[in-house]
Amino acid sequence: MRELDETDLEILQLLVADARRPYNEIADAVDLSPPTVSDRIDRLKELGVVRRFTVDLDRSRLSEGVAVLVDLHVEPGRVSEVRSDVEDIDGVEHIFVTADGNVVFHARLRNGAIEPLLSGTLDTDAVREYDVRLLTDSAWHPEPRGVEFALECDECGNTVTSEGESSRIDGELYQFCCSSCQARFEEQYEELKQAA
């Protein structure tokens, strides 16, 4: 495989600024043909670098309600459960999980009361306490500034360089830092598959 290169980064920056930009315009900007740009974007999607094309909405112009930043102090061991419950709360825009086990989320709530919302959605035993802070402003800065590429080897976790390898197994694309990691991964995959 080939590592992501400067051209990929350029393409990403152009798409971040306007995801509906025609591919031939991108092609001009990066000195490639439109089909090649299309291929690269397909690969960026496959690699999971591009999660989706989407729209940045100004929610303050859309929805009533108060923007808040909520900090949940979660009981040990129940972080992922709480995190996925928070995903289901209406109006949640961003979720952060801290290394010390808090779940912080940014939401716009139509009825100011957060307490019934939380107790309706979360298992109250899982959250020791919480802080709610009103927000007066929030902004999203999607520019991939200062980005360095770092794809991880799916076998050992090391950085994948241009010497790396990739395989498509059962329709999924995997990447490896070297051929031995690749072989090892494929063996183990095969074993697991046999076992199942």
Partner DNA sequence: AATGAAAGGATTAAGCC
Partner DNA sequence: GGCTTAATCCTTTCATT
Q: What residues make contact with a copy of itself under the rule CB under 8 A?
A: 4, 12, 15-20, 47-59, 61-65, 69, 83, 87, 90-100, 102, 104, 106, 110, 133-142, 144-152
Give the C-alpha separation, 192 to 195, whole Å.
Answer: 5
Residue 32 binding partner per list DNA, a copy of itself, none, with a CB distance cut-off of 5 to 8 Å that depends on partner kind:
DNA
Residue with tokens 């690699």: 47
Rama region for 171: left / alpha / beta (φ>0; ψ in -120 to 50; rest)? left
When binding is defined by CB under 7 A, the residue of 13, 38, 121, 158 that contacts DNA is 38
Identity of the residue, 41 or 181, whose beta carbon is nearer to DNA in the bound complex: 41
Q: Identify what 184 binds: a copy of itself, DNA, none; CB under 5 to 8 Å per kind.
A: none
Candidate residues 17, 19, 35, 80; the one interacting with DNA per rule CB under 7 A: 35
167 touching DNA, by CB under 7 A: no
Of 32, 79, 82, 107, the residue at the interface with DNA (CB under 7 A) is 32
Q: What is the DSSP string of 106-118?
A: EEEESSS--HHHH
- Give yes or no for a contact between 176 and 155, defined as CB atoms under 8 angstroms apart: yes
Q: Is 43 in the site for DNA (CB under 7 A)?
A: yes
Nearest to 71 by CA among 104, 32, 34, 42: 104
- Residue 131 vs residues 83, 89, 178: alpha-carbon distances, Å: 16, 17, 47
Enumerate binding residues for DNA (CB under 7 A). 1-2, 7, 22-25, 31-36, 38-40, 43
